Amino acid sequence: MALLLASGCATTELLNSGSSSSHTTTSEQVLVEDQLVAFGRPATPLANMPSSSVVIVGEKYSYVLSQGGPEMVNLLTNLTPKNIRVDNDMRFYSPNNDGHFQGQMKLSYAKLKDEFQRSDYNFFLQNGGKECSSSSDERMNAQRFCFTVPIKGGVYPAVSNLSLIQSKYSALTKPYPVTIYTNGKTTTTTNNGASAAGKLVLLPFALAFDVVTFPFQLLDAAN
């Protein structure tokens, strides 16, 4: 169910002939709340999407990256999987609720200091990695590097082989929500409490497709 979180940016009160009144409020509308299953890539190319697309596989929908995909592939395939962590909620903004969204993916990579090699540091420099060790990392004599990847993409139906993917991955101890939201106007009438609810719009002509997952369960590293 969509949630309406009032920001109180703009409210207009209209008095009717009776005792009821209406309030129009500019608010944040959560269009969908989903759960991450895996990261992958389309099994076959998708129309109007780059060949290097990355798919955030959700339980309800698929989120295909049209921007930021190559950077994500580079990180997910060149760094040791067990040392990668997602550091932010996957909360993406859809300005027009037209099936497109934008946001950021924040990843971090940590190992014991004596396990890093010169090639690791070169990779961090070439790919915008920033040193971000926490006090906990330092107590363990570890070092952490953070990456921020701006992304844009489109919303598709759940992947066709979702059940197969779920059977390959154990349930995550920590849930990783995927949220798409927009801004809109909500009208509430005091005598009946009716209000507008957000509904996620998919890309036009978007069809379900099979996905090939990356060969690891990335988010277990954050548990």
Query: Two tokens at 1?
Result: 């169910």
Q: What are the residues whose beta carbons fall under 8 Å from the beta carbon of 125, sequence distance 6 or more? A: none
Using the predicted structure, report yes or no on whether residue 150 has a pLDDT greater than 90. yes
pLDDT tens digits, residue range 177-190? 899 999 876 656 55
Which span out of 4-13, 45-54, 149-158, 213-222 was modeled with the highest average pLDDT?
149-158
Using the predicted structure, report yes or no on whether residue 131 has a pLDDT greater than 70. yes
Task: Give the total number of structural domains in the chain.
Answer: 1
Helix (H, G, I), strand (E, B) or coil at 161: coil
pLDDT tens digits, residue range 3-52? 434 444 444 443 444 555 666 677 889 999 999 888 888 999 888 888 87
pLDDT bracket for residue 1 (50, 70, 90): very low
**Which of 45-49, 122-126, 131-135, 174-178 bottoms out in mean pLDDT, i.e. has the lowest?**
174-178
**Rounded CA separation 108/129 (Å):** 9
**Burial environment of residue 86 by CB neighbours within 10 A (0 to 12, 13 to 18, 19 or more):** middle
Q: Which domain holds residue 174?
A: 3-222
pLDDT at 203: 83
Residue in 101, 96, 99 with CA at minimum distance from that of residue 184: 96
Query: Two tokens at 160?
Result: 């066709």
**Rounded CA separation 126/78 (Å):** 12
Mean pLDDT of 200-217: 80
Using the predicted structure, report yes or no on whether residue 91 has a pLDDT greater than 90. yes
Which span out of 48-62, 118-132, 197-211 was modeled with the highest average pLDDT?
118-132
Using the predicted structure, report yes or no on whether residue 193 has a pLDDT greater than 80. no
